[in-house]
Structure 1
Amino acid sequence: MIDSTPESPAIGSRVLTIPHILLKVIRLFEQPDIDFDSLADTIRQDPVITARIIKLANSVYFRQWSEVTQLKQLLVVLGLDTVRQITLLSATEQIFSQVEPQLSRPVAIMWYRSLFCAQLSAELADLIGHTPKEEAYLTGLLHRLGQLSLLCGHPQQYQEQIDITHPLEQVETLERHLFQTTSTAWVSQEMRQWPLHSFMCDAVAFQTLPVEQLTDATPLVRLQALGRLLCDTTEDNLGVARAANLLFGLNADVVQQLRQRVKEKTDAMVHSLTGVETGDGADGAECFISSHDHFQQLLRQQVQQHSVTNVLNSGTAPENKSAAFTRLRRDLHLLFGLDHLCLLKAEGDHLQGYDDRGCNPQLASITLPLDNSTSLAVQTFHHGETLSSLGLSHQSWSVADHQLHHLMDAKALCFIPLPHRSQPAFIAVVRITQAQWQDLQSRKSFLATAAQSAGESLLQIQSHTQQAQQQRQMEEEERHLQLRSAAHEINNPLSIINNYLFMLSQKLDDDPDATAQMTIIQEEMARVGTLVSGLKHLMAPEQTPETSDVVDVTELIEKLHVLLTQSMYKPRQQTLHLELDRSLPPVQCCDSSLKQILVNLLKNAAEALPPEGEVWLTTRDNLHKNGQHFFEIDLRDNGPGLPDEVFSQLFQPVASSKQGHSGLGLSIVKKLVDHLKGEISCSTSASGTRFQLLIPRALPERSEQSHA
């Protein structure tokens, strides 16, 4: 007898199945018009693939509802790419496991019993009106999964001492003696971790109890108990008849007719898969045994067409690092049942904690030098082998090892190198149990292949990201070149216009009003020239050379008032009011930037207002905020306010709804204000919109002394 409770493979991990279903599902995915209905009809014939799908769909990676037990819904939750990957991984695992030939018979028998029980449970559910019928089917399909797991985990002991053709309650007596547990207890415990809130786990856990103890149980528990009895019994049996009457009030004839009908239906399904006739009295499992080698060879050929790398990277390629790391977590969960992962990234001479999900900022502070650190992570990097803290005393751990265990809330960790060529690019740090570590040790070659694929995938994403950044930089440089070229071409006609304006001003020398207006035009043309010269910096105004002028803000606003009132507000029957703080002294500021800010804001206000609308421009000196000294320019109007969709993207470059407008006005305002090291805010309501500008109150040296 084994001295300790056995560590068996987790459900859906290293648990073998018949090759027929795997092959059929893989071939379904080769069809261009595959749909979830046909996929569900095929997958629901196999307990191992179904268990993997239920477990993953109800995990933290995909869980969307409180509970999912409808197989088609599960497939929709996961998506075709993930289901394809689960199938290919199951097939790949089947090949990598190098199954001993003597296991094919018990695996086939268990598979047939599971399918038979699933059909029986579904028919019984239909007969008594229990819903959902699919839940009963899945419970029956999974009822022997623990037995299958114990067989695959301990093939020699199980086959030598247990006859799997015996009824399950007899098998459990031997299992308890051999393993100190039963397959039913083990599988129900595993199912409770998925998690499911239905009574599926209870139905599996209590399926071998005496029927007298189940009379007050839920319908699903009673259904599974009767279905399992019918599955294990090959002929009329008084115990089955008594159970049917006690649990549901069904007579023996009805139950036996149902059993025969389901047997014929199951055998027909077996024939459709194998092409082998069951024959009178032949157990359908024999069909799978006789055709096993043929289908295993076909499956091997199919898997050879999909290298492990293609299996792991099947489906849509990750678009970015976040998607790649999400896929890595999913793959480790699917392949090895590993959860709770963090990453260390190789960067030059050290390993750097990599918080790819942005939920563990402490991880980003971990830096492990590659030349003088004794941590397990660094040892993994240098040796290129998966290491674990299991079996090591805490005293032998480095400080970094202790910190990683604390961050992962783990008693033990394993460190998996994800190499690119011969050098690890990342180290995956995973919380692990003794059973999981033993499983990894027994599958070193498979783990190495999977880790190699994951490392190359992550490096490929990183390479694509760098290429995309280089491409954006080249495009940015091209735009700047075009802007400089445009600025050069525009300056030519501007020079001619300025020359003619000078000659025209000489002729109007005797008219003071015309001379004043001509001066404003010349100043504005000069400003246009300055703006054109700065076009090459428009995309990145922070790179614009610092220009500092002594600006009389009050005078600048009054000139703009004259210009904009005549050219924009008066023609629209609108009014621009000025409320200026005359005590505001001249300040050190970029004249052209401040003028551009005000022009854009006042122009936007005029265009947004209806006829007879009003705008108030107010200045105020001496504002203190967060230890800084500002002056304020406030613009408010009595318009209808900004729409929500405009307000939510206020300072972003968006497509303008106004004909002839670029949609860049407020975006440029924000960039220019930032360049001035100022602040801008906006509030809006149905009674109007308000912009508040705070500009640093930097006084010229002499002025500072006089205002000290």
Structure 2
Amino acid sequence: MAQENLLMETMPSLPQVLLNILDAIQDEQADLRSLGEIILQDPAMTARLVAVANSAHYARAGGCHSLDRAVMILGQRTVKNVVMTAAMKQVFDEFGRRHRRFLKESWRGTLVTAALAQALAALTRYPRPEEAYLCGLLVNLGRLARLTLDEARYPALLEAAENDQDLIRREQATYGGSHCELAAGLMEQWGLSPLLADAVRYHLEPALQVRDAHHLVKLVNLAHGLGAGENLRDGALEAADILFGLNEGLSTELRAGVQGDVRRLAAALEIDLDGQDRTMSDRHAERRLGECLSDLGQLDRVQAELSRVRDVRHGCQAVQKVLFMTLGVEHSLLFLMDARQGLMSAWMDPADDAAFVLPLERGRSAVIDTNLDRRPRVLSRSEEESLPVVDRQLFRACHADLLWLLPLVGGDRNVVGVLVLGVPGAQSARLEGRRGFVLALAGEIARLLADDLQPPGVDGSDLQKHVHEIIHEAGNPLTIIQNYLAMLRIKLGETHELQQDLDLIREEIDRVGRILLRMKDVPAPGRAEDLPLDPLVQQVAEIFSNSLCQTRGIRLSLSLAAGEAGTLGHADHLRQILTNLLKNAIEALGEGGEILLGTRAPVNLNGCPYAELTVQDDGPGIPDSIQSRLFSPVTSTKGEGHSGLGLSITRRLIDEMGGSIVCASGTQGTRFQILFPLDGQG
């Protein structure tokens, strides 16, 4: 176990590939699937993430046998932490620089093998081609691990070996086992199935020895044989015929296509595959990797700086300070959105009134057009005469030759403002080179502004502001503690005696988080949010569909027909009600199954109009012993970590709205029907 954890922490990657992964993590538009596709360019990072996903802290029933599933299980935050940890180590570690040539050769070889394995899987109708790709990507895992564990002797063995079989003989004599066995053993320790491990274990066996083996073993064996070496070998063509009856023409075509794809990928990533040791492009990538990590560290400091903001005007001042400290931009303006009045405002001095107030009408200013288009734009003084006077004033206010206009889009996809950066001509090229970081910084500012600041003119409770501030401040260290606990779990190993203590710590941290979330529900005096029922239900459903339902294979179906019916100022009540009922349904279903979520209005009951909300699942039903006291505070049947108060709280919230709830449950599933009064009835 200690060896396994050491390898997870020390296996190096090419800096160009790590940069590509970090860029994808920071991309707001990147989803988990596209992120997984980029990570699959790096064998070492793929191995790390699959191992973490199969660890005791994250493991799911059936194990994790693909990177897509690993990324889904871990989530973007954990993936980011694992990648950043690896990148940080690599920036300060000379190991990767000393063995750059081996890393390049290994990277090219494994990508060719992986792509060929996937192509052969599709050609021969193997039902899970992603497994073939993963195994192909890990064929050199044993060599990389051996190099990491024995840097003193292993490089000499690699140099002296005439071919793969000679290397295995030398490894047997030196270590008592081959790199194939080492890789397969690691895969099994990391929770991958024995079939996947066997595909790597036997990838160098002669074709005649594996012709009756499992389909996956034959795929990876042939893929490695076809992809190895500068020229296609006769033995590989013979193996193609023996294992799958493929002729020379098809085998040659598959190899050529895949090798071309890998060369194009290397060119796109600026990896010089022909260069010996460290090339200029390698040094450039190492420098950029260091800059990228520095940028990510600065984003954390930005979050800390803005989290202390008390009001909107001082928020503008804090953003200007952040831009100067991180980008060197001395003059900037922050236009904030007031959607209720259809205006955008910017302050030159927090003690004064707004210096600029712009109506939300296209063509009135480039700032407004940036808001409406949701796309960054750059204005130059050369086009100044064709601009409205207010835009010409912005050039002078920001002492700029160029104006960078960046829309600030919050987590709900609404624009909260526009950032105006005043850029002197001499600073333009340097800022353009950090464009990715500038956009990530704008995204971070947007999220924090959307969470923490109210637009001008909105009166909020001092108590509520203070509570939200405390929650925001407390959330960051709690997240950091959770991340460190997860890494500590992996380092200690599943059987370590301290795992039970770590479980207790994690449960208490979760409990603190739940308490903080309850504090966040302190209502603002006089504020009642009234929203249409159907969009609110759809919003909550999308959150669950993209998280808990997706990871457990549960289908969430909607049938929304409430029309114009609203929430009568109880939007937060309804969100909590839906959250409780959906969580219960998901936990009852476990893995798989379906949840039906529906609305109707009007529904007539005793001559009064109501809106109906139903949550129905096809699970095992609620035990009879529980149904009789369903809405009373009880000890939960779900085990530790559940308070048993969910349905009690749900009933109380419905009562406050003047509604009613009915439950029908049996072996075919459970259905909750909730009726809310319309037109103030009830």
Which of the two has higher C-alpha Rg?
1
* TM-score calculated relative to the size of structure 1: 0.46
Give the TM-score taking structure 2 as reference length.
0.48
